[in-house]
Amino acid sequence: MLNKIIKLSKKFIKIPSVSPYDLGCQKIIFKRLKKIGFTIENININKTNNLLAFKGKGKTLIFLGHTDVVPVGNIKKWKTNPFNPIIINDFLFGRGISDMKGSLAAMIVATESYIQENPFHKGRISFLITSDEESSGNDGTVKVVKILKKRKEMINYCLVGEPTSNTVLGDVIKNGRRGSLNVNLIIYGKQGHIAYPNLAENPIHKILNFVHQLVNFKWDKGNNYFQPSVLQISYISSGIKNITNVIPDFLKINFNIRYNTEINKKIIIFQVKKFLLKYNLKYKIKWVHSAKPFITKSGKLLKVVKKSIYKYNSFFPVLSTSGGTSDGRFFSDMNTEIIELGLVNKTIHKVNECVKIKDLLSLSIIYKNILKNIFI
């Protein structure tokens, strides 16, 4: 089993599938799944490739993943060629091995092995693999899930292969993610000579109290599943570079709110507008809502994942909802249980991305055990 996983992981790494390009990874997956009886569709939208596969009948478990990777960064800092997989001291190096080509290989080999032993298995196994998880995400999972909804497909369980483990494989799984709202704001003032502020309105001065209140505002206290919601400013600009005697007439500010299930988009918008009004600001605002929060508090998938990890590791995983959002969010209004379990995330998106060889096998064994128990 381990040799198979390593071989497949290496094949994936050799393909420089920098997001949103798949460049043939999904062809490999297509061939492997076809061989074991899956019905497969390629749903290609603009530059993005999506693969949707099903086998069996009844309750459905979908493996969710992506073949794209982030750029290599400073290539001089890599000890190895990022697209030439090499094993050094029991670690496999290559861009995307932990996020998440190694997980893909583990899923596929687990499924092959499970189907070989259980050709007439209960339930339906499915794969949804995209190539734009690391970029815009516009033409990937979100679009395929729309198609699934149109077809009135029931997806009971969604197992996401994102790298959730912190130090030991299976030590952390995600049973939810925070929502994310981006705000692009322009504050207007009145241009003038810096020596005559009474004849102008300085948008930089005008915004100070507003920003202070905004960043110190306590949105909520969090709950059993989520940390408190947080707001972070990502960008501020105003004025004309190197011009020292002009009060500018506008200011741009962008911020992001990672929010939990205690609040929602409406509450955030209401509160931000209230502050804008309080400080009498003239503004233009754009809201970009990229994710609703989701949580799987309990259910069969959670139970089976926890048990499978315990069986292998002799300890239960910690449940977490921290970090960025994931493609799992697109299933949040389909009545689907969503759990994320993947490799150790220490080196993801970094130079010298690598994974312990043994972890690839462990993950595959755990995935196979989940398949064994989810349809019982």
Q: Which residues belong to the active site?
A: 68, 133
Residue type, 276: L
Output 56 or 328, the one with its CB closest to Zn ion: 328
Q: How far is the CB of 163 from Zn ion (least distance, A)?
A: 7
Output 238 or 345, the one with its CB closest to Zn ion: 345
Q: Choose one: 110-118, 157-165, 193-201, 259-267; the region binding Zn ion (CB under 5 A).
A: 157-165
- Of how many residues is the chain composed? 376
Binding residue for Zn ion, selected from 22, 99, 340, 359, defined by CB under 5 A: 99
| Pairwise CA distance, residues 359 & 344, whole Å | 8
| β-pair partners for 179 | 259
Output 137 or 189, the one with its CB closest to Zn ion: 137
Give φ, ψ of 61 to 5 degrees.
Answer: -110, 125
Q: How far is the CB of 100 from Zn ion (least distance, A)?
A: 5
Q: Choose one: 30-38, 100-108, 269-277, 279-287; the region binding Zn ion (CB under 5 A).
A: 100-108
Q: Please enumerate in sequence order all residues whose Cβ is within 8 A of that of 302, keeping only pairs 6 or more positions apart, or say none.
A: 175, 296, 337, 339
Output 82 or 123, the one with its CB closest to Zn ion: 82
> Within positions 291 to 350, which residues make up the interface with Zn ion, using CB under 5 A?
none
Q: Choose one: 31-39, 99-107, 167-175, 286-294; the region binding Zn ion (CB under 5 A).
A: 99-107
Q: Residue 166 corresponds to which tokens in the numbers above?
A: 């912190």
> Within positions 158 to 187, which residues make up the interface with Zn ion, using CB under 5 A?
162
Q: How far is the CB of 129 from Zn ion (least distance, A)?
A: 12
Binding residue for Zn ion, selected from 100, 107, 183, 371, defined by CB under 5 A: 100
Output 16 or 239, the one with its CB closest to Zn ion: 16
Q: How far is the CB of 133 from Zn ion (least distance, A)?
A: 5
| Pairwise CA distance, residues 221 & 227, whole Å | 7
Q: Choose one: 43-51, 156-164, 227-235, 336-344; the region binding Zn ion (CB under 5 A).
A: 156-164
Q: Choose one: 35-43, 154-162, 239-247, 281-289; the region binding Zn ion (CB under 5 A).
A: 154-162
- Edge to edge, the sheet with strand 179-188 lists 230-238, 250-259, 179-188, 282-291
Cα 88 to chain centroid distance, Å, stands at 29
Q: How far is the CB of 328 from Zn ion (least distance, A)?
A: 11
Q: How far is the CB of 368 from Zn ion (least distance, A)?
A: 21
Distances (CA, A) of 9 to 25, 31, 47, 71: 10, 15, 23, 18
Crossing angle of helices 2-13 and 357-374, in 10° steps, is 110
Output 268 or 359, the one with its CB closest to Zn ion: 359
Q: Where are the alpha helices (DSSP H) in 199-327?
A: 203-216, 265-278, 300-313
Output 50 or 229, the one with its CB closest to Zn ion: 50
Q: Are 251 and 238 in contact (CB under 8 A)?
A: yes
Q: Are 111 and 125 in contact (CB under 8 A)?
A: yes
Q: How far is the CB of 85 from Zn ion (least distance, A)?
A: 18
Query: Is residue 22 part of the contact set for Zn ion (CB under 5 A)?
Result: no
Output 251 or 338, the one with its CB closest to Zn ion: 338
Q: Residue 62 corresponds to which tokens in the numbers above?
A: 């979908």
Q: How far is the CB of 93 from Zn ion (least distance, A)?
A: 17
> 305: exposed, middle or buried (C-beta count within 10 Å: 0-12, 13-18, 19+)?
buried
| Residue count, binding to Zn ion (CB under 5 A) | 3
Over the window 232 to 251, marking each residue x when it contacts Zn ion by CB under 5 A and - when it does not, the resulting string is: --------------------
Q: Choose one: 83-91, 155-163, 292-300, 332-340; the region binding Zn ion (CB under 5 A).
A: 155-163
Any long-range contacts for 306-311 (C-beta under 8 Å, 24+ apart)?
306/173, 307/373, 308/366, 308/369, 308/370, 308/373, 309/170, 309/173, 309/341, 309/366, 311/369
Q: In the complex, which residues of this chain contact Zn ion (CB under 5 A)?
A: 99-100, 162
